[in-house]
Amino acid sequence: MPHRLILVNNLSNAMKLISFLVISFFMTPFYVRILGLTLYGIWAMVLSVVGYMTLMDFGMQSAVMKYIAECEGKEDKEGLSEIIISALVFYSLVAIVGGSFLIIFVFQGLTLLKVDPYHLSIVKWVLLIMGIDMLLVFPGTVFQGALTGMQLFYFTNSISIVGNFIKAGMIYLALTRGHGLIGMALIILLMNLLEYATFFALVKWRYHLFPIRRSHFSPARLKQMMSFSVKSFLVMISGRINLNSDSLMIGYFMSAAWVPFYTIPANLINYTRTLLWSLTQSFLPLFSQLEAKRNIEEIRSIYVRYTRYTCLCLFPILVFLLIFGEPFLRIWMGIEFAEKGRYIILFLTLSLFFSTINPLGGRLLTGTSRQGIMVWTGFASALIFLGLGALLIRTHGLTGLAIAFMAGSLIPSVFILESSILAINMSLKDYVRKGLFPALMPASITLVILWVIKGVHYPLGYLELTLQAGAGVLIFAIAGYSIALTIEEKIFVNRVVKGLYRFGLPTHWKF
């Protein structure tokens, strides 16, 4: 079983997210201070519009990843070339059509957003630049999909981490020199192009694809990929509605100035959602490879084991969000953000918990071409969010929107869990007992203890918050080690700790 490769890929995915969190921690207050609430709200709305443009991917990147993984498993090098070139042809057509729609929206569709005339010109330029960025990087996602299909996540993540820090530094300099949102957008466009050019260079070197030959393009292969990508595309639509409609709804029903009070606390949960996505991303091509080999037993073993591992990583974060989300906002962004974001964090964290109880479900169903259940449940979730959100935002404001999101997330969680455990021929009782319960117990213990500690002393600064969170990490580590790990896993952990000791830990650290 490829545990070492899974570990390396997942660690690199986590490091990518951590680097993004570090950048966001320092840059978000800077953005709000330099841009102001209105311009920052406009930036969030532009990103939401551009987020919808990613739907023009039509699920092709997941198709590239899946079929690259299958060809790697079958050692089909000719198929690899067909997949990459056929996807490039597809994205070239997408860029032409998408560019036309972008121009129409920039000059005709902005009236839907409550943007004052003074900022309208800035919004047009920023949206145009970010839209061009999205259209140009579509072909780049082919090469990223090819590398991740080969399970080279650690390479793509290393490039992205370096690029993110360079991008943040350039944006900081641009904003301090008064270049504003347009400067931010141009920097993002440039850095994304450089990142995907690097991916292209590696794929070219690995497969010797260029110059392109006519035989590389396969209409039959493209048809196969599009047949798979249709379902992924429909899942993407519902996901974008859920994740990219909040700021647009706030801008429509309220104003752009209210957007940061929702998106900044919501981003704390979205970062954890991204971590969930990162820790499970490498399993999609892995499940595709194993299914190509008809190795169902190994799929089941990996599914249950890494469900437990993933929950052990994510449950303590959910606990910290529930206990320390509001204090962190108060210290980080100020009292007003904390007061408005308290219940937003609560309801959005609960919604994320519903997804976390089955972290590998979507990857399994997509990697084995069983994502039909994800389509209709995703649309049901999106419709509930839009309908209930439009109603509750008028009566309960930003908190009502968070409640609507939580309500919409229930349906996919239930049905995807049922479908995924059915696909691996496992009962719900066994799944809960082997995969979920061992991580849920230490998380529950930690939640109760931290709730008591916070009640005794509310953290008022980063030092107090860090000490209480550190106590929570220690409590969860002890409880998780005692409850969630098997004997073999405890032996492995002991060996790792002793190995660290031999490599120079202080002599008074005894194990």
Gap between the Cα atoms of 344 and 337, Å rounded: 11
Q: Which two tokens stand for residue 195?
A: 């990142």
Distance CA 343, CA 345 (A): 5
**pLDDT at 505 (0 to 100):** 45
**Distant-in-sequence, close-in-space partners of 39: CB < 8 Å, separation ≥ 6:** 119, 122, 180, 181
Chain-centre distance for alpha carbon 7: 18
CA geometry: angle at 39 spanning 38 and 45, to 5°?
90
Distance of alpha carbon 168 from alpha carbon 98, whole angstroms: 28
Rg (CA), the chain: 23
**Residues in the chain, total:** 511
Per-residue pLDDT at 503: 54
Helices (H), 178-218: 180-207
Q: Are 306 and 360 in contact (CB under 8 A)?
A: yes
User: Helix (H, G, I), strand (E, B), or coil: what is residue 114?
Assistant: coil
**Side chain identity at 203, as an amino acid letter?**
V
Q: Phi-psi bin for 81: left (phi > 0), alpha (psi -120 to 50), beta?
A: alpha
In 3D space, the residue among 289, 349, 284, 294 whose CA is nearest the CA of residue 316 turns out to be 349
H/E element holding 175? Answer: helix 153-176
Would you state the pLDDT for residue 509? 39
Nearest CA among 243, 269, 267, 264 for reference residue 33: 264
SS3 21: helix
Q: What is the distance of C-alpha 395 from the center of its chain? A: 30
pLDDT of residue 29: 83
Res 511: pLDDT = 33
Two structure tokens written together for 256: 């752009």
pLDDT tens for the chain, residues 1 to 511:
456 777 777 778 778 878 887 888 788 888 888 888 777 777 777 777 776 666 677 777 777 777 777 777 677 777 777 888 888 888 878 777 777 777 766 666 555 555 666 666 777 788 778 777 777 777 777 777 777 777 777 888 888 889 889 988 998 998 888 888 888 888 988 888 888 888 888 777 765 555 555 556 777 777 878 877 777 777 777 776 776 678 878 888 887 788 888 888 888 888 888 888 777 877 877 887 788 777 788 888 889 999 999 999 899 999 999 999 999 999 988 898 899 889 999 999 999 998 899 999 888 888 887 878 888 888 888 889 899 999 999 999 899 999 999 998 888 888 999 999 998 888 999 999 998 999 999 999 999 999 999 999 999 999 999 999 999 999 999 999 999 888 888 887 887 777 665 655 444 433 3
pTM for this predicted structure: 0.68
Q: How many CB atoms lie within 10 A of CB 251?
A: 22
| pLDDT for 448 | 95
Nearest to 95 by CA among 134, 43, 152, 142: 134
**373: phi then psi, degrees, rounded to nearest 5:** -65, -30
- One DSSP character per residue, 32-101 reads HHHHHHHHHHHHHHHHHHHHHHGGGGTTHHHHHHHHHHHHHHHT-HHHHHHHHHHHHHHHHHHHHHHHHH
- pLDDT at 296 (0 to 100): 82
**What per-residue confidence (pLDDT) applies to 55?**
66
CB 272 within 8 A of CB 321: yes
In terms of Cβ atoms closer than 10 Å to its own Cβ (0-12, 13-18, 19+), residue 21 is middle
Report whether 133 contacts 192 (CB < 8 A): yes
Three-state SS string over 279-327 comes to HHHCHHHHHHHHHHCCCHHHHHHHHHHHHHHHHHHHHHHHHHHHHHHHH
Tokens 């061009």: give the residue. 132
In this structure, which amino acid lies at residue 132?
Answer: I
Cα–Cα distance between 94 and 142 in angstroms, integer? 13
Residues 6+ apart with CB under 8 A from 359: 276, 279, 280, 307, 310, 311, 314
* Tokens, residue 325: 């989300």
The residues, ordered by sequence, that sit 6+ positions from 378 with a Cβ below 8 Å of its Cβ are: 234, 235, 237, 238, 239, 242, 412
Question: What is the C-alpha to C-alpha distance for residues 402 and 408, in angstroms, rounded to an integer?
Answer: 10
Q: Where are the alpha helices (DSSP H) in 208-282?
A: 219-244, 246-253, 259-281
CA distance 489 to 252: 52
DSSP-based helix, strand, coil % in the chain, nearest 5? 90, 0, 10
